[in-house]
Structure 1
Amino acid sequence: MNYRRFLPNLCTAMNLVFGMCSILSTVEGHLDWGALFILCALVADGLDGRIARALGVSSEFGKEMDSLCDLGSFGIAPALLAWALALRHYDLVGVAAAIFFAVCGMWRLTRFNVNANVVHGYFMGLAIPAGGNLVAMSAWLFLSLGIDPVSFGMIYPAAVAVTAYLMVSHVHYPDFKGGGEKIYLAAKIAALLVFAGILYGGCAAVLPAVCTAVFASYAVFGIINHTIAVLAHVKEG
């Protein structure tokens, strides 16, 4: 057995293992664990590529395996979690929002694979691990605070649908590796305000509030930063 290839593939497989644990926990009614397992899947997803590059064993097999696992852990599992938490109370609207999220996750991964050699320095659309964890961590925060998202009316299914759309949008999200998108101060300030606002509102549940704030502020940051970049380009043109 080639252990150099086994280690990163094991991390990739653990991504899906945690995704399945999330799905099973959600089905059993343990929604908090359903959310936490999605966060664990993110950790495994972040390790596999780094280990593969460190060992010099990156491969097309590993990339395809990673995408399939991501769809389960960050596309299907969060959609099911959102459904169990609140979307099931919205009848066809809830059904549409849950399915839309999973389908957009699939679309996002397919487009990423096709454009892997074309798009550099940024992510086109919100990465599916970020989108999936935004749904999962916000669910964890609602559960920790004892808040029923249904009490907000149509805001919750709309928020799930918007998060799904961001994944397939053409919004440029910086990958923070350098040499990519220009970072604007206004976008940083907006992200900081979102982060601080969520921490303030969720101060009774600090850990889930911090996790939610990280992904929510990144989502908002990308929207504003890209909007400023587009307006600046139009003005220059």
Structure 2
Amino acid sequence: MRSLIPNLLTALNLVLGMFSIISTFNGDFYNAALFIVAAMVADGLDGRAARYLNVSSDFGKELDSLCDLVSFGVAPAILAYAFLLKDFDKMGYVIAAAFATCGALRLARFNVSTTMVKGYFMGLPIPAAGCVVATFVMLGIKPTGWLFPILVSIFAYLMVSTVKYPDFKGKGEKIRIIPSIIALAIGCYIMLIRNDAILFAPFFTYAVFGLLNTVFGMFESKSSV
């Protein structure tokens, strides 16, 4: 019976992802994005509940990945397409599909590399990538030119990249000072110019930090040779 609790939270993740897709179909982009953020909260609670109740299982892990793909891969891709990518004709199709596909690849790699990758995430976690796109849509900004398609494409790539993102558990990837300062400055600047970016700024800051932290780590490795 105890195992039902985390699985229900995982299922709630999927339900919220479906609510997001339905909201997108209804043209309610703000709530569609909000449902994706809410799904991330449910996704964070299911693992904690499983560990607290000591009922972790392979079934729960597989269910979690399937639900994550819907809520943070497919739902943000559909939202991004309906919000602005549709204006880019067939390229909009390709970029939306690429985001969902990269999300699936990210989850598959995570599932098979849990014994090899410890202390950090290889590639941007799919909940963070999905929430970057969703919270950007919440701002209601429709930039001219190719900025939005490029933004979605970059975060699709970051999911399948080898960029190391810290899991903040005190082990694994070193958190470097300069990348931290730069990323925090970017996040603060975003919130300074957009006081409604309170959700977008943290996700964007985390994505930028991991990229900068990895690049600085590469330079450190070269200088120590």
Range class of TM-score, shorter chain: over 0.9
Q: Distance in 1 between matches of 2:78 and 2:190?
A: 24
Gaps of 5+ in 2: none
Gaps of 5+ in 1: none
| Superposed displacement of residue 201, structure 1 | 2.0
Partner of 2:57: 59
* Match for residue 79 of structure 2 among 81, 86, 98: 81
TM-score (normalizing by structure 2): 0.98
Q: Distance in 1 between matches of 2:182 and 2:80?
A: 26
Structure 1 stretches of 4+ moved >3 Å = none
Partner of 1:95: 93
Q: Distance in 2 between matches of 1:38 and 1:86?
A: 17
1:167 aligns with 2:159: yes
| Superposed displacement of residue 61, structure 1 | 0.2
The structure where helix makes up a greater share of residues is 1
Q: Deviations over 1:187-233 (max 9, x none)?
A: 11111111112102212x2xxx0110000000000000011111111
Superposed CA RMSD in Å reads 0.7
Q: Distance in 2 between matches of 1:180 and 1:160?
A: 28
TM-score (normalizing by structure 1): 0.93
Q: Deviations over 1:133-155 (max 9, x none)?
A: 000001101x2xxx323x2x011
Q: Deviations over 1:98-153 (max 9, x none)?
A: 01100000000000000011100000000000000000001101x2xxx323x2x0
The residue type equivalent to 1:148 in the other structure is K
The residue type equivalent to 2:205 in the other structure is S
Partner of 1:148: 142
Q: Distance in 2 between matches of 1:148 and 1:164?
A: 19
Q: Distance in 1 between matches of 2:210 and 2:57?
A: 30
Q: Distance in 1 between matches of 2:60 and 2:176?
A: 35
Q: Distance in 1 between matches of 2:211 and 2:71?
A: 24
Q: Distance in 2 between matches of 1:232 and 1:148?
A: 39
Q: Distance in 1 between matches of 2:171 and 2:82?
A: 41
Partner of 1:222: 210
Count matched residues: 225
Q: Distance in 2 between matches of 1:24 and 1:161?
A: 23
Partner of 2:222: 234
Q: Distance in 2 between matches of 1:56 and 1:107?
A: 29
Q: Distance in 2 between matches of 1:101 and 1:201?
A: 28
Partner of 1:201: 193
* Match for residue 44 of structure 2 among 46, 66, 79: 46
Q: Distance in 2 between matches of 1:139 and 1:201?
A: 16
Q: Distance in 2 between matches of 1:55 and 1:225?
A: 35
The residue type equivalent to 2:30 in the other structure is D
